[in-house]
Structure 1
Amino acid sequence: KVPGFVSGCITGRSFGDYVLLGGQSNYSLVIHGDSPSTSRIYDGIVFDQVPVIVSDGWKEMAMPFSDALPWDSMAVFVSQWEFERSPVDAMRSAVAKASEPSRLQAWRRARGALDWSLEGTCVATAVLLDAAREHIGSAGLPELLSWPDCAGELSRKGKLRRAEWQGTLNETLLEDMLMEERFD
């Protein structure tokens, strides 16, 4: 059994519980941690959850392929000030935005550029385009989602399979994807 240490947090639950709960959730709350990045965004990608991000400037600093994907239409960004002022109202508004059909559609369309574990993923194309943008500039490079191998929406079978986890899913693979080892 994997202990209750998942993504840097003591959950008091088993790894299987974490996988089941993640597979059943539609949204992931991503709060700025002790660095500009957090593994919570990647947990949400694996679980096919629309990210609700509470952090200022996170999109520019830490979003995967921030120059190549339409993050404003895929995720919901909540300013830290807005969240601190009224957390309940901020989250109510964020969940309403995350539930918009156009946002869900944009998220599902781009998921293949983010989740390397899906069949038909285009993560390799995304990495190469990101490197090209970094080193030669973005002039003349097409949008990531217009590339033929990134243009289609992937099946949601992966999420349903995870939600029905009974201990037969490759636990080592999930552990590698979801566990963040911070202590040596």
Structure 2
Amino acid sequence: MKNYIVSAFRLTIVMLVIVGIYLVIVYAGSKVLPTQGNAEIINHNGQKFYANIGQEFKSVKYFHGRPSAVDYNAAGSAGSNKGPSNKEYLETVQKRIDTLKMQNPEMNTAKVPVELVTASGSGLDPDISEEGALYQAKRIAKERNISLEKIENLINIQTEKPLLGLFGPSKINVLKLNIALDQTK
């Protein structure tokens, strides 16, 4: 029995060292990032926003992000866990498609970008694709009385390219895009 306890104790020490080294590497790696592993906080019009958490924009004058399965509540991050064979899920997605097409009638025949009608796994995704933003561009231009060319240029400026040109897709942070949109005349 003594051999088992000694073996278990040794294994525990080895695992503590391995996990400890891993945590130090992750912590040190986070300090290299632009936000140093902290939330990116944006102050706009006297309000504080977290750029790395999805925000809800209801007005037709703003770009809309991904739907949230948790109503954009960061304390309860979760997906819906409903798949494409779930009738309730399919009805929800169809309602979102219908609403999106109603808000963007000039895009009625265009393919709907999937991220505009499906929630992310966390329910808090702050980004959309360039296609998702372009899908909404005509509505924004019309509602704000700004040329479509200016809106498309703004989308292009706000698009974050893949890391090193290789890792991940191009994306646009919806909060930053809408703040830049407010500053556009």
TM-score range, shorter chain: under 0.3
Larger RCO, structures 1/2 (Cα 8 Å, 6+ apart): 1
TM-score, length-normalised on structure 1?
A: 0.26
Which protein is bigger by CA-based radius of gyration?
2
